[in-house]
A = this chain, B = another copy of it.
Amino acid sequence: MTEYIEALQHLAEQFGKLQGVGRKTAMRMAFSTIELDADSVQEFANAIIEAKQRIHECPICGNLTDRELCSVCEDESRDRSVICVVEDVKAVMSIEKVREFKGVYHVLGGVISPINGITPDKIRFAELLARINRDGAEEVIVATNPTPDGEVTAMYISKYLKPLGIKVTRLAYGIPVGSELEYADEVTLGRAIEGRQDV
């Protein structure tokens, strides 16, 4: 069908590698790309390369950044005694959007999921411990997604940290159960931060 324009087909395949992009959407995007003017196309290609080259994990918290540290760890006004533990960078973005949380983050890069063979050593949990020991955090807010794996992870972290005398809280259930943080609206997320509870 469409294989007869090789360069277009090839471009559509690249779009198809992105999460959530199906075959038809990929082809529409390929079309839409070549309809852009030449400068925009060049800018697009450069942006892809640059984003990949410049963006890396913050060495402190695992958040993404294109500078040395992420914007949160770089900000000296943030309260280092409260660490919000999240699954991924998207969750950091969602929570930052609310402008309610003044502490710092720790990105686990996943959740414990025994069924999928993801044990605590497969996520950045040791880094969290090391950081708590080093910087002396007083409270850890576990903001993993309200999914079964997210809950298991929260429980694990709580059981591990509480004996060390650290206050462990969980986001209040303002967020709809079974969904992902990324989709929560800002008001709901704000309430969830305010109403965080002991685990």
A14 within 8 A of B: yes
A71 within 8 A of B: yes
A51 touches B10 (CB 8 A): yes
Rounded to whole Å, the gap between the CB of A107 and the closest CB of chain B is 13
A2 touches B48 (CB 8 A): no
Rounded to whole Å, the gap between the CB of A24 and the closest CB of chain B is 9
- Bound CA span A90–B35, Å: 13
- Bound CA span A64–B27, Å: 14
B41 touches A5 (CB 8 A): no
- Bound CA span A89–B31, Å: 9
Contact check: which of B6, B35, B90 meets A66 at CB < 8 Å? B6
A187 within 8 A of B: no
A49 within 8 A of B: yes
B51 touches A11 (CB 8 A): yes
- Bound CA span A34–B49, Å: 9
A38 touches B11 (CB 8 A): no
Contact check: which of B2, B30, B38, B43 meets A14 at CB < 8 Å? B43
B45 touches A41 (CB 8 A): no
11 examples of A-B residue contacts, CB within 8 angstroms: A4-B71, A5-B65, A7-B51, A7-B55, A7-B66, A17-B40, A18-B36, A19-B29, A34-B51, A41-B52, A45-B48
Binding site for B on A (CB under 8 A): 1-2, 4-8, 10-11, 13-14, 17-21, 28-36, 38, 40-52, 54-55, 64-66, 70-71, 89-90, 93, 96-97
